[in-house]
Amino acid sequence: MDANHQSETFTVVPSVVRCAKVFLSLVVCASGILSAAACGHQTVKPQTDVLQQMSGTDPAIPAKGDMGLDPELKNYQYPRATAQFNFRSQNQDLQMTYILAEPAKPNGEVVLLLHGKNFSAGYWETTIRALLDKGYRVIAPDQIGFGKSSKPTSYQFTFQALAANSKALLDSLKIERASVIGHSMGGMLATRFALMYPAFTEKLILVNPIGLEDWKTLVPYRTVEENYQAELKATPESIREYQRTVYFDGHWKPEYDKLTEILSGWTKHPDYSRVAWNSALTTDMVFTQPVLYEFPLIKNETLLIIGVRDRTAVGKNWAAKPIAEKLGRYDLLGKKAARSIPKAKLVEIPKVGHMPQVEAFDQYLKAVLDFLPGGP
């Protein structure tokens, strides 16, 4: 940990395990009673039919009725087992949920997957399966404020804090080196992680990362309170329409529905305001904390995978129209980023938007495997 986090303590305790249909059984490892080693990393296992659904086009199991999904997704299952990392940060106890996937035939390499702002660890499933087939050990955490992890009412969200939390998780698993893949907001986080932990980072892969331009120099600032009010107005229809127009160029396929089901389910829950508040805080983080100025400082070999049709840009929807039309030009931004990063390789995928791992999986995967250590 860096000097700013020396006072924070991190311990591993078991996850909350769902069982039966009505009651929850809590397995608690109390500090001072059982050691972290005795407790280990216990997991929550998904039902078999969830795995079958996620391998096809059916969505994973959503909440029943109109109650929606609770902020920590206790009533929603990921396509594979999760575990929980409990730690103390910023004077509060927090819980980070993560996927740890072990290959049948390890090749000795580890990959850390960092999700985007509108996503969580579960959406990496197809990538996880492909990496496992090649022998990679894979860790995919939900960052604090996202997915199944804690949604604190008060937290100083910075990419440095999220990177430190992720490193603490990896340290608890006794992982000494890993390649890091970040998508969208996860690309900004992956960049910060590599800058903070260059010796730990084997290779860096950025998949349509946001933050390739400094929006705050072009778009009026919107306060956290304004972001919060905008989040409270979100509906399943508005979420789907945003992804349809911004990520997929106005097109939509049935298999894309599973990309919106968590966000949509949250809006229906009585405690949605807590999710909306965390989303407002993290919007402020990505808007005000650019990483592009430090691209020349990245020491690691870096692969940029860019769907050139992408036009994603934070603040675009409240920018003046002449400015908005110039934002998110990934056909230009990818090349500019590659020129700024000393050891960068650029793979551009034409006619693909913000999610190459969805729209052009085979091309995306080939680029990833060709670049990773231990690959072909």
- Domain hosting 125: range is 3-60+72-218+290-371
Task: Report whether 241 contacts 259 (CB < 8 A).
Answer: no
Has residue 281 got a pLDDT over 80? yes
Distances (CA, A) of 25 to 14, 28, 276: 12, 10, 29
**Range name among 29-43, 132-146, 352-366 with the lowest pLDDT average:** 29-43
Has residue 59 got a pLDDT over 50? no
Q: What is the reported pLDDT for 49?
A: 34
pLDDT in tens, 180-207: 999 999 999 999 999 999 999 999 999 9
**b vs e for 230-260, b when ≥16 Cβ sit within 10 Å of the residue's Cβ?**
bbeebebeebbeebbebbbbeeeeeebebbb
**Range name among 51-60, 74-83, 121-130, 142-151 with the lowest pLDDT average:** 51-60
Question: Would you say residue 285 lies in a domain?
Answer: no
Q: What is the reported pLDDT for 115?
A: 98
pLDDT in tens, 106-130: 999 999 999 999 999 999 999 999 9
Q: Find where tokens 């778009």 sit.
A: 219
Average pLDDT for 73-98: 97
Q: Find where tokens 């127009």 sit.
A: 245
Average pLDDT for 44-56: 36
Question: Would you say residue 47 lies in a domain?
Answer: yes
Per-residue confidence band for 66, with pLDDT thresholds at 50, 70 and 90:
low
Q: What is the reported pLDDT for 67?
A: 85
Average pLDDT score, the chain: 87
Tell me the backbone φ, ψ of residue 93, rounded to 5 degrees: -85, 130
Question: pTM, whole model, 2 decimals?
Answer: 0.84
Has residue 55 got a pLDDT over 60? no
Beta bridge partners of 111: 138, 179
Question: Would you say residue 240 lies in a domain?
Answer: no
CA R_g for the chain: 20
Per-residue confidence band for 374, with pLDDT thresholds at 50, 70 and 90:
confident
Written as six digits, the tokens of 247 are 């990520």
Task: Report whether 267 contacts 68 (CB < 8 A).
Answer: yes
Beta bridge partners of 83: 43, 98
Per-residue confidence band for 2, with pLDDT thresholds at 50, 70 and 90:
very low
14 or 160: which leads in pLDDT: 160
The CATH number that applies at residue 78 is 3.40.50.1820
9 or 112: which leads in pLDDT: 112
**Tally of domains in the chain:** 1
Average pLDDT for 134-139: 98
Question: Would you say residue 297 lies in a domain?
Answer: yes
**Range name among 39-48, 102-111, 263-272, 340-349 with the lowest pLDDT average:** 39-48
Written as six digits, the tokens of 73 are 């997704």
Has residue 15 got a pLDDT over 70? no
CB neighbours of 241 closer than 8 A, spacing ≥ 6? none
Q: What is the reported pLDDT for 211?
A: 97
Q: Find where tokens 């009010």 sit.
A: 229
- Measure the CA–CA gap between 161 and 179, rounded to whole angstroms: 19
pLDDT in tens, 290-324: 999 999 999 999 999 999 999 999 999 999 999 99
Q: What is the 3-state secondary structure (H, E, C) of the chain?
A: CCHHHCCCCECCCCCCEECCCCCEECCCCCCCCCCHHHHCCCEECCCHHHHHHHHCCCCCCCCCCCCCCCCCCCCCCCCCCEEEEEEEECCEEEEEEEEEECCCCCCCCEEEEECCCCCCHHHHHHHHHHHHHCCCEEEEECCCCCCCCCCCCCCCCCHHHHHHHHHHHHHHCCCCCEEEEEECHHHHHHHHHHHHCCCCEEEEEEECCCCCCCHHHCCCCCCHHHHHHHHHCCCHHHHHHHHHHHHCCCCCCHHHHHHCHHHHHHHCCCCHHHHHHHHHHHHHHHHHCCCHHHHHHCCCCEEEEEECCCCCCCCHHHCCHHHHCCCCCHHHHHHHHHHHCCCEEEEEECCCCCCHHHHCHHHHHHHHHHHCCCCC
Classify residue 6 as exposed, middle or buried by CB count within 10 Å of its CB (0-12, 13-18, 19+): exposed
- Measure the CA–CA gap between 115 and 113, rounded to whole angstroms: 7
Question: Would you say residue 67 lies in a domain?
Answer: no
Per-residue confidence band for 65, with pLDDT thresholds at 50, 70 and 90:
low
Question: Would you say residue 350 lies in a domain?
Answer: yes
**Range name among 54-63, 177-186, 217-226, 293-302 with the lowest pLDDT average:** 54-63
Q: What is the reported pLDDT for 375?
A: 76
Has residue 1 got a pLDDT over 80? no
Has residue 53 got a pLDDT over 80? no
Q: What is the reported pLDDT for 156?
A: 97
Per-residue confidence band for 40, with pLDDT thresholds at 50, 70 and 90:
very low
Question: Would you say residue 246 lies in a domain?
Answer: no
CA-wise closest residue to 156 among 289, 11, 10: 289
Question: Would you say residue 261 lies in a domain?
Answer: no
